[in-house]
Chain A
Amino acid sequence: QKEVEQNSGPLSVPEGAIASLNCTYSDRGSQSFFWYRQYSGKSPELIMSIYSNGDKEDGRFTAQLNKASQYVSLLIRDSQPSDSATYLCAVILYSSASKIIFGSGTRLSIRP
């Protein structure tokens, strides 16, 4: 079982709609979770972090965490063409605080 799993996509969403990106992780003891965005040809950049069960909102982005289900999601409201990118889920392993493990990413395409 992969440590962090994501659907590779592509996920196509019409402009203005809500994009929903999902991630599951295998290390039940993990406490820290992150979403990075990577534009084509660019390096990843952090957009959200979440540490507690529930929702965390930042502008058009909402991260959701359910530790019991080992599930993290990212919602993007009012999707814009500029949101088209690959979204990477990352988890710090409980077994090693310095090991930040990434999923393979979900490619999101916002169609006008």
Chain B
Amino acid sequence: ETGVTQTPRHLVMGMTNKKSLKCEQHLGHNAMYWYKQSAKKPLELMFVYNFKEQTENNSVPSRFSPECPNSSHLFLHLHTLQPEDSALYLCASSQDPGTGELFFGEGSRLTVL
């Protein structure tokens, strides 16, 4: 138990569906992240939030829409995804954006049909 909880753990969706991934951290951290992990590829940074404000968007397609209502919650809204978006989506938090000491959730395994 890392103090970062992600739901759902598994999600299957069609290309026309809209779904959301949720992340909650109980560590009192100020920064939250979304990473994408695909087979045979490095962890890809998607978004960074600091005190609810987005500080990084790593050229992510607009079909991925993040939302950070407070420093404990982070969402990733998904719509009109492609099969190549199938991956493990990992949420992480850190005390501050520049620390590098990330605490990861267990991930949400997404399959796009």
Contact B58 A100 (CB under 8 A): no
Contact B2 A100 (CB under 8 A): no
* Among B42, B56, B106: residue with most chain A CB under 10 A: B42
**Stretch from B13-21, B60-68, B69-77, B94-102 that touches the partner:** B94-102
Contact A102 B2 (CB under 8 A): no
Task: Specify which chain B residues have a CB less than 8 angstroms from the CB of A46 in the assembled complex.
Answer: 101-103
Q: What distance in Å separates the Cβ of B62 from its nearest Cβ neighbour in chain A?
A: 20
Count of A-B contacts judged by CB separation below 8 Å: 61
Complex Cα spacing A25 to B100, Å: 15
Known A-B contacts A42-B106, A92-B100; the reply to A104 vs B41 at CB < 8 A is: yes
Known A-B contacts A44-B104, A49-B100; the reply to A102 vs B48 at CB < 8 A is: no
- B interface, over-half SS: loop
Contact A105 B100 (CB under 8 A): no
B-side residues, CB < 8 A to A, are 2, 31, 33, 35, 40-43, 45, 48, 50, 55-56, 58, 90, 97-98, 100-107
Contact B101 A97 (CB under 8 A): no
Q: What distance in Å separates the Cβ of A51 from its nearest Cβ neighbour in chain B?
A: 9
Contact B56 A45 (CB under 8 A): no
Contact A88 B43 (CB under 8 A): yes
Task: Specify which chain B residues have a CB less than 8 angstroms from the CB of A2 in the assembled complex.
Answer: 42
Specify the chain A residue showing the minimal Cβ separation from B49.
A98
Specify the chain A residue showing the minimal Cβ separation from B48.
A98
Q: What distance in Å separates the Cβ of B19 from its nearest Cβ neighbour in chain A?
A: 21
The one of A45, A92, A101, A103 that contacts B2, using a Cβ cutoff of 8 Å? A45
Contact A4 B102 (CB under 8 A): no
